[in-house]
Amino acid sequence: MKIWVDADACPVVIRDILFRAAQRTGIELTLVANQSVQVPRAANIRTLQVAAGFDVADNEIVKRIGPGDLVITSDIPLAADVIARGGTALSPRGELHSTDNIKARLNMRDFMDTMRASGVQTGGPPALSQADRKNFADNLDRILTRSAK
């Protein structure tokens, strides 16, 4: 298993949790972004800088992942692609995307896009809370424990 991070929108506090997990487990962690990202010096932690542009980082992640890999992303279409390729997708809020829930999440995302395009002000997501961080860390730990067996 490898961990891939859609790093352009990943909160720093979530990156820090991932860095500690990668250092503890030795699992390869790659942050993919269209800008420079600071990472700790470790043989198993690296960055992959891609060109700027719409979905460039997402497309690079999909191209490189394998079955059983974990992708950290808040991008629902990317999560759907990851699941279709046999990977696992976890949001920075700790929401585990699966074949059981991804279609409903895609439909809601499309509905909200339609609402915004028609002029409805939907607002953004709330700030990342302590409960979100704990939920992320707990789900990450479960995934890593399962993969170690």
Sheet holding 70-72, edge to edge: 45-49, 28-33, 2-6, 70-72, 88-90, 96-97
All domains of the chain in start order, with CATH: 2-148 (3.40.50.2000)
Distance between CA atoms of 148 and 55, rounded to whole angstroms? 31
Over residues 8-50, the pLDDT tens digits come to 889 999 999 999 999 999 999 999 999 999 999 999 999 999 9
Over residues 96-123, the pLDDT tens digits come to 998 888 887 877 777 778 877 888 777 7
How large is the average pLDDT for residues 42-62? 95
How large is the average pLDDT for residues 119-136? 87
How large is the average pLDDT for residues 81-107? 91
